[in-house]
Structure 1
Amino acid sequence: MPLPLYLLALAVFAMGTSEFMLAGLLPDIASDLDVTVGTAGTLTSAFAIGMIVGAPLVAALARNWPRRSSLLGFVLAFAAAHAVGAITTSFPLLFATRIVAALANAGSLAVALTAAATLVPPDKKGRALAVLLSGTTVATIAGVPGGSVLGALLGWRATFWAVAALCLPAALGVLTGLPARRERSDAADGPALRAELAQLARPRLILVMLLGALVNAATFASFTFLAPVVTGTAGLSELWIPVVLVLFGAGSFVGVTVAGRLSDQRPGLVITVGGPVLLLGWPALAVLADEPVALFALVFVQGALSFALGSTLITRVLYEAAGAATMAGSYATAALNVGAAVGPLIAATALSTAAGDLGPLWASGLLVTVALLIAFPLRTVVTAGRGAGALR
Structure 2
Amino acid sequence: MITFNYLAAFLTDVTGVPAVWVPAVLTLFGVGAFAGLSAGGRIADRWPWRALLAGAAGILVCSVLLALLSRHAVAVVPLVLLLGIAGFVLNPAIYGRVFTIAGEAPTLAGATTVSAFQLGISLVPALAGAALNAGAGVASVAWIGAALAAATVPAVLLDRRISSAR
Instruction: Give the secondary-structure state (helix, strand or coil) at the position aligned to 1:327.
Output: helix
Q: Which residue of 1 aligns with 2:110?
A: 329
Q: Which residue of 2 aligns with 1:260?
A: 41
Please point out which of 73, 79, 90 is paired with 1:292: 73
- Name the CA shift for 1:260/1:296 in 2 (closer, same or farther; >3 Å): same
Q: Contact 2:51/2:89 (CA < 8 Å) preserved in 1? A: yes
CA distance in 2, matches of 1:325, 1:304: 27
Confirm whether residue 280 of structure 1 aligns to residue 66 of structure 2. Answer: no
Q: Which residue of 2 aligns with 1:129?
A: none
Q: Which residue of 2 aligns with 1:302?
A: 83
1:330-369 map, 5 Å: 330-369=111-150
Q: TM-score, normalised by structure 2?
A: 0.89
CA distance in 1, matches of 2:102, 2:159: 18
Confirm whether residue 229 of structure 1 aligns to residue 10 of structure 2. Answer: yes
- Name the CA shift for 1:326/1:241 in 2 (closer, same or farther; >3 Å): same
User: Which residue identity is paired with 2:62?
Assistant: G
CA distance in 2, matches of 1:326, 1:230: 39
Q: Contact 1:285/1:298 (CA < 8 Å) preserved in 2? A: yes
Q: Contact 1:318/1:332 (CA < 8 Å) preserved in 2? A: no
User: Which residue identity is paired with 1:308?
Assistant: V
1:44-123 map, 5 Å: none
CA distance in 2, matches of 1:313, 1:343: 18
> Which 4+ stretches in 1 moved above 4 angstroms?
none
CA distance in 1, matches of 2:131, 2:2: 10
Q: Which residue of 2 aligns with 1:239?
A: 20
Confirm whether residue 318 of structure 1 aligns to residue 99 of structure 2. Answer: yes
Give the drift of 1:380. Answer: 3.2
Q: TM-score, normalised by structure 1?
A: 0.40
RMSD, aligned CA? 2.0
- Name the CA shift for 1:326/1:281 in 2 (closer, same or farther; >3 Å): closer
Instruction: Give the secondary-structure state (helix, strand or coil) at the position aligned to 1:249.
Output: helix
In structure 1, stretches of 5+ residues that fail to align are 1-219, 385-391
Please point out which of 266, 270, 276 is paired with 2:51: 270
User: Which residue identity is paired with 2:127?
Assistant: I
Q: Contact 2:53/2:156 (CA < 8 Å) preserved in 1? A: no
